[in-house]
Chains A and B, each alone.
Chain A
Amino acid sequence: MTIKPSNQLVKSALSGHSWLGLCVSALMYLICLTGTLSVFFEEFERWEQPEIEEYSTYSTKQIETALSYFSNRIEKTPESVYVVLPTQAVPRIHISGDGKEWFVNQNGSLSSPPEEGWTHGLKALHTTLHLPQTLGLIVVGALGAMLCGLIVSGLLAHPRIFKDAFRLRLGGNKRLEQADVHNRLGVWGTPFYLMIGLTGAYIGLISVLVAFAAPAFYDGDREAIIEAVYGGDPELSQPVVPFNIENAFETLAREHPDATPIYMVFQKMDTEQQFLEIAATLPGRLIYSEMYRFTTTGELLDHQRLSDGPVARQVAYSVYRLHFGHFGTGWTKIVYGLLGAGLTIIAATGVNIWLARRKKVSCANDMWLAMVWGTPLALAVSVITNNLWQLPVSGFWLTLLSSIILCCVFKGGSRSKTILIRLTGLSLVLVMYQYYLKFGSFDLNPAALKINMAIILMLSVYLLLVIKRFFIKR
């Protein structure tokens, strides 16, 4: 017995899928592309500031020295001071509080502040589309929800999608080719894309739900909801003395030997309620971290029960790593990057199918082409504008706008595409040139080397393709 949906259902599902996809296409493409790159944001941050000292071991004396330097540099003691510890992905320490932040040298002295450069712009583009924080998060969360809707409707709209799971016809009819790429990438990546959409929507829409739930259940107290889900802070009253960090680390190592500290927070500093939190990852767990709380003397108070508390709390705290692929080894990031690129292609081919089905060509074709090929160009140009004038955001949007105008003026699909690809290549060459000029080397740290090698490899492949095409033409 086979369950076959009626033709009417398939037709209306296809229509709904097409319209929903078209409505969100441009922003979806932007989010998917920037999301794919954002998987590697830690590497990009190290690439942007390769001169910062890197090390994987640290001492409590180093942290204490950094704390005293930090206290001297700021005017007022912040309520919370964060010390982010070195990890395999980011072997650097940085200290922050009240919006002030510095990297820490191996001797405990403070180094440069982290730059709000290109990577910051990239992350902001992915998480908020450069809109005001809350609005941007909601818009991006809404796109996550639409992605979930598109996945389910895509499966409903294509009854043969599993039957044709291995069929990929390239060339020939343009619409058929684009449909094959769209459907095949879609069907094989479904579980991953659903996971990404769901976790992304959760991150973005949680504020909307909290705004609704607070008056309904907690008399408008939003903090109470956060506390109910994630757990609250301990209530303490103790003499104000300096923190015994060494004792806290020793206690943690003794009581929870599996835990690997990733950052620490000095909460309510210089008050009787002060306490120390050490966030630590646990092997095989997707939760961002478990929070171990200590008194000023370094005695373990409790842990927030993010790893062994209510299931809902564990699930809610696992969303970040699951969405960004920051767990396991470096391979996880690479696979996330590949599947993210797949989702970007799905977003692009979805609109291509709609355009190919039309009997005419219009400025919509040019604008979409500009969106698809202009976004990588805009991202490359934003690196240059960031290096020259610290303006990555304006650089990005101005380039994208120029690409759209250029494509609408030229009105020639393939010609505009070639120009945009060449300009992207040229921009990447300029990025490499600027990088060498600024830092004098491509391998100041392993992350910088990997990213520079990836860019050089991309440029080489492109150059080889251009040469090949040139000889074929002759």
Chain B
Amino acid sequence: MNDYFYFPVIINFIGIAVIYACWNHFNRNKFALNFVGWGVITISMLFWVEFYGAEYGIVFSCISISITGLLCLGVNYQRRPQKVVQKNYQNNWIGVRQTSTRFLTFLVAGPLALFACCALCLLIPHWFSEQRSHNLVLAAFLLPILWGLVSFWVCAKDELLVPFVVILLTGIFSSLILFL
């Protein structure tokens, strides 16, 4: 650890402290104070990058924001007596219909969505074939985000039919473009 370690840590702490003070004490000029706080945090990020290089600096900066924020949280917590609510113990068997619906949701949000997302992501290296290796890595990073969001969408929908049709068609069309 080099001698400058504390410098970006302190600046980052000041930034979070300004945001915390604004949240905790001030009702006026909140926007301005928040702006100052995030500005100071941005400056601390620049110091992280300056002292540790771009790669370590950005990661250290993100981590330090998390840790400082959680420390503020540790200072600010409120403790109240625990309310114990008595509930009845009751086991309900899950019905066949409910089980099959959940299984179908799993199939649509899982393997089917993975197939569609894979095919969709690979359209990037397909269309931009000059830098294919670049775009393959981009597709590899895009895949989890896309799949995660599609699964979330499937789970958020009450009806399964629309997501099923959209995902299936996306997968088929993307595959056709890829392989034909």
Interface residues of A (CB under 8 A from B): 12-13, 15-17, 19-20, 23, 141-142, 144-150, 152-153, 165-174, 184-185, 187-192, 195, 197-198, 201-202, 205-206, 208-209, 212-213, 215-217, 225, 228-229, 283-286, 310-313, 315-316, 318, 322, 327-329, 331, 335, 338-339, 342, 358-363, 411
Complex CA gap A124/B54 in Å reads: 32
Cross-chain contact A142 with B110 (CB below 8 angstroms):
yes
Counting CB contacts under 8 A, is B99 at the interface? no
Is the Cβ of B125 less than 8 Å from the Cβ of A213?
yes
Given A188-B70, A209-B139, A225-B136; A360-B88 close (CB under 8 Å): yes
Cβ-defined partner of B89 (8 Å) among A23, A217, A225, A362:
A362
Q: How far is the CB of A291 from chain B (nearest CB, A)?
A: 17
Assess the B114–A286 pair: CB atoms within 8 A: no
* Contact between chains at A328 and B56 (CB < 8 Å): yes
Which residues on B sit within 8 Å (CB–CB) of A212? 118-119, 122
Neighbouring A residues of B106 by C-beta, 8 Å: 23
The 10 closest A-B pairs by CB, nearest first: A149-B148, A16-B156, A201-B144, A284-B53, A145-B144, A312-B137, A188-B69, A19-B155, A148-B148, A172-B80
Residues of chain B lying within 8 A (CB to CB) of residue A148? 144-145, 148-149
A-B CB pair tally, cutoff 8 Å = 220
Indicate if B96 sits at the interface (CB-CB under 8 A): no
A169 and B77 contact, CB distance less than 8 A? yes
When distances are taken between beta carbons in the complex, the residues of chain A under 8 Å from B122 are 209, 212-213, 216
Give the distance to chain A from B134, nearest Cβ to Cβ, in Å.
4
B interface residues (Cβ-Cβ under 8 A, vs A): 1, 20, 23-24, 52-53, 55-56, 59-60, 62-63, 65-67, 69-70, 72-73, 76-83, 85, 87-92, 105-106, 109-110, 114, 118-119, 121-122, 125-126, 129, 131-141, 143-145, 147-157, 178-179
* Chain A binding surface, main DSSP class: helix
B76's nearest neighbour on chain A, judged by CB, is A166
Some 22 contacts from A to B, beta carbons below 8 A apart, are A12-B156, A19-B105, A20-B151, A20-B152, A145-B144, A152-B152, A165-B23, A169-B77, A170-B80, A188-B70, A192-B62, A197-B144, A217-B126, A229-B137, A284-B55, A310-B134, A312-B134, A315-B137, A328-B52, A338-B67, A342-B70, A361-B87
Q: Quick one: given A15-B156, A149-B152, are A286 and B55 in contact (CB under 8 Å)?
A: yes
Contact of B24 among A147, A166, A315, A360 (CB under 8 A): A166
Q: Which residues of chain A are near B157, meaning CB under 8 Å?
A: 12, 16
A410 to B109 alpha-carbon distance, docked (Å): 35
Q: How far does the Cβ of B15 sit from chain A's closest Cβ, in whole Å?
A: 13
Q: Are B55 and A318 neighbours in the complex by a CB distance under 8 Å?
A: yes
Q: Which residues of B contact A172 (CB under 8 A)?
A: 80-83
Tell me whether A149 and B141 are in contact (CB under 8 A): no
Identify which of A150, A168, A205 contacts B152 (C-beta below 8 A): A150
Find out whether the CB atom of A361 lies under 8 angstroms from the CB atom of B89.
Answer: yes
Question: In this complex, what residue of B is CB-closest to A22?
Answer: B155
Select A198's contact among B24, B91, B135, B145, beta carbons within 8 Å: B145
Shortest A225–chain B CB gap in Å is 7
With A and B bound together, what is the CA distance between A141 and B114 in angstroms? Answer: 11
Most chain A Cβ neighbours within 10 Å, of B72, B148, B157: B148
Given contacts A171-B79, A216-B122, contact A149 B136 (CB under 8 A): no
CB distance from B153 to the nearest CB of A (A): 7
CA distance A212 to B140 in the complex (A): 11
Are A215's CB and B156's CB within 8 A?
Answer: no
A48 to chain B, nearest CB (A): 28
Q: Is the CB of A286 within 8 A of B110?
A: no
| Min CB–CB distance B150 → chain A (angstroms) | 8
Give the Cβ gap from A391 to chain B, nearest Cβ, in Å.
32
B136 touches A208 (CB 8 A): no
Name the A residues within 8 Å of B63 (CB-CB): 192, 335, 339
**CB-based contact A195/B133 at 8 Å:** no
CA distance A338 to B135 in the complex (A): 34
| Shortest distance between the CB of A186 and any CB in chain B (Å) | 11
Q: How far is the CB of A188 from chain B (nearest CB, A)?
A: 4
Give the Cβ gap from A166 to chain B, nearest Cβ, in Å.
Answer: 5
Complex CA gap A246/B22 in Å reads 61
Give complex CA distance A162, B147 in Å: 26
Are B138 and A312 in contact (CB-based, < 8 A)? yes
Given contacts A197-B144, A360-B89, are A152 and B149 in contact (CB under 8 A)?
Answer: yes
Contacts beyond the supplied A190-B66, A327-B59: 4 A-B pairs with Cβ under 8 Å: A149-B151, A150-B148, A195-B62, A328-B1
Q: Are A149 and B149 in contact (CB under 8 A)?
A: yes
Q: Are A16 and B82 in contact, CB atoms less than 8 angstroms apart? A: no
Cβ of B20 and Cβ of A166 under 8 Å apart?
Answer: yes
Least CB distance from A22 to B in Å reads: 9
Distance to closest chain A CB from B47 (angstroms) = 15
With A209-B136, A217-B132, A310-B133 as contacts: A185 and B155 at CB distance below 8 Å: no
A166 to B69, CA, bound (A): 8
Quick check: B179 and A167 within 8 Å, CB to CB? no
Within the complex, what minimum Cβ distance (angstroms) separates B99 from chain A? 13
